Amino acid sequence: MNYVYVLQSREDEPEFYIGFTSDLRRRFREHCSGSNRSTAGRAWRLVYYEAYLAVEAARDRERKLKKHGRVKQLLLARIQASLERVQ
């Protein structure tokens, strides 16, 4: 299985990070331990993921989320609305 995921930093001004992996648990541990330069120095929580059978489909989705502002904006708005309901 291949995953596209979204992390949210646990700071006062939360940031989001979008990534792709074939092992979501391992990758999340790497982010939390500071092994990833892009996310080092912050505490993170997994707030969203999508699962894909084909690696190409997952990579394409990650690319679209990172490069197409409107697609990313819509997904992050949906995630934020969901998080507000939980808090």
8-67 residue pLDDT tens: 998 777 789 999 999 999 999 999 998 888 888 889 999 999 999 999 999 999 999 999
| DSSP H or E run through 82 | helix 69-86
CB atoms within 10 A of CB 82: 11
- Which residues are within 8 A (CB) of 85 and not within 5 positions of it... i.e. 6 or more apart? none
Specify the pTM: 0.88
| DSSP H or E run through 49 | strand 44-52
What topology does CATH give the domain 2-86?
A: GIY-YIG endonuclease (3.40.1440)
Domains of the chain, by residue range, sit at: 2-86
| DSSP H or E run through 45 | strand 44-52
